[in-house]
């Protein structure tokens, strides 16, 4: 079974600075998807960025980018020019490439605090 | 923008009582998921539907939990009887199909407190 580990329970960043959230995963599959989700307090979970394992190029979405190291099974999220609205719980998630039984497997999450 | 609707938003129930949650996915989304999120933890899948069929309910405590999606559209998750350990956020999500890298669209969740 796949597992996802987020080793940082909590991180802090000064507004306008850069922060990196770590994520490692364990799988025996060669094809899969990886995601970062953001869950603001009392609000719904939204997709931040996604990465397909067969793509070597790291995904980027505006201020959010990932560092995907397939051999190391590492998938970190970098947030540049941090804003107060980035404060939330961030979850790393893995999804199998299989047609069925391809549930999202989540890590425990990292609370990101943004200081003004 | 299309949303996944969930109700109620909050629910307080007494131990041993029955409770039900409702989810209406985005129109046209064939795959529907129910997740449970204990405070401070990541969500864990309870059940996955493809249209009206269950494709994964391996983590659903079937002695007390049941889920249905009779017409392949909206879905209901029921707990009977509720236990103190069931206190959690129950999240519903949907996706266009069971494949692809598009992730899911989540609803706002139902926060259940069992007293």
Output the tens digit of pLDDT for each of chain B's 115 residues. Answer: 789 999 999 999 999 999 999 999 999 898 999 999 998 889 999 999 999 999 899 999 999 999 999 888 999 999 999 999 999 999 999 988 766 556 789 999 999 999 9
> What pLDDT was estimated at residue B104?
85
Each residue of A1-47: pLDDT tens digit? 789 999 999 999 999 999 999 999 999 988 899 999 999 987 889 99
What is the distance between the alpha carbons of residues B45 and B61, in angstroms, rounded to a whole number? 11
Chain B residues near residue A38 by CB distance under 8 angstroms: none
Question: Most A CBs within 10 Å: which of B23, B31, B42, as the mutation test of the A interface?
Answer: B42
In a mutational test of the A interface, the residue from B37, B44, B99, B103 whose CB has the highest number of chain A CBs within 10 Å is B103
pLDDT at residue B101 in the model: 59
The CA distance from B40 to A109, in Å, is 8
Using the Cβ of A47 and the Cβ atoms of chain B, whether some distance falls under 8 Å is answered with yes
Classify A28 as helix, strand or coil.
coil
Q: CA of B14, closest CA in chain A: separation in Å?
A: 23
Determine contact, residues A29/A97, Cβ cutoff 8 Å: yes
8 A C-beta contact, residue A25 and residue A33: no
Q: What is the reported pLDDT for B98?
A: 65
Residues B23-43 as b/e (b if ≥16 CB within 10 A, e otherwise) read bbbbeebbbbbbbbbeeeebb
Does A104 sit within 8 Å of B103, measured CB to CB? yes
Cβ pair A51, A33 in contact under 8 A: yes
pLDDT confidence of residue B2: 81
d(CA B81, CA B63): 9
């Amino acid at each position: 079974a796949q597992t996802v580990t987020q080793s940082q329970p909590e991180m802090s960043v000064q507004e306008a600075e850069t922060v990196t959230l770590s994520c490692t995963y364990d799988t025996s599959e060669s094809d899969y998807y990886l995601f970062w989700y953001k869950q603001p307090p009392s609000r719904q979970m939204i997709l931040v960025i996604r990465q397909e394992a067969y793509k070597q190029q790291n995904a980027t979405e505006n201020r959010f980018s990932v560092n995907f190291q397939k051999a190391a099974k590492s998938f970190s999220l970098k947030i540049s020019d941090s804003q107060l609205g980035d404060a939330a719980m961030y979850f790393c998630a893995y999804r199998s490439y299989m047609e069925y039984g391809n549930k999202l497997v989540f890590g425990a999450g990292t609370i990101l605090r943004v200081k003004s | 923008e299309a949303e996944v609707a969930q109700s109620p938003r909050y629910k307080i129930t007494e131990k041993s009582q029955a409770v039900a949650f409702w989810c209406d996915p985005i129109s046209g989304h064939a795959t529907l998921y129910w997740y449970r999120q204990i405070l401070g933890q990541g969500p864990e899948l309870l059940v996955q539907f493809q249209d009206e069929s269950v494709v994964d309910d391996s983590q659903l405590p079937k002695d007390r939990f049941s889920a249905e999606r009779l017409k392949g559209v909206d879905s209901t998750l029921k707990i009977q009887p509720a236990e103190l350990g069931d206190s959690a956020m129950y999240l519903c999500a949907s996706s266009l199909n069971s494949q692809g890298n598009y992730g899911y669209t989540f609803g706002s969740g139902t926060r259940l407190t069992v007293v």
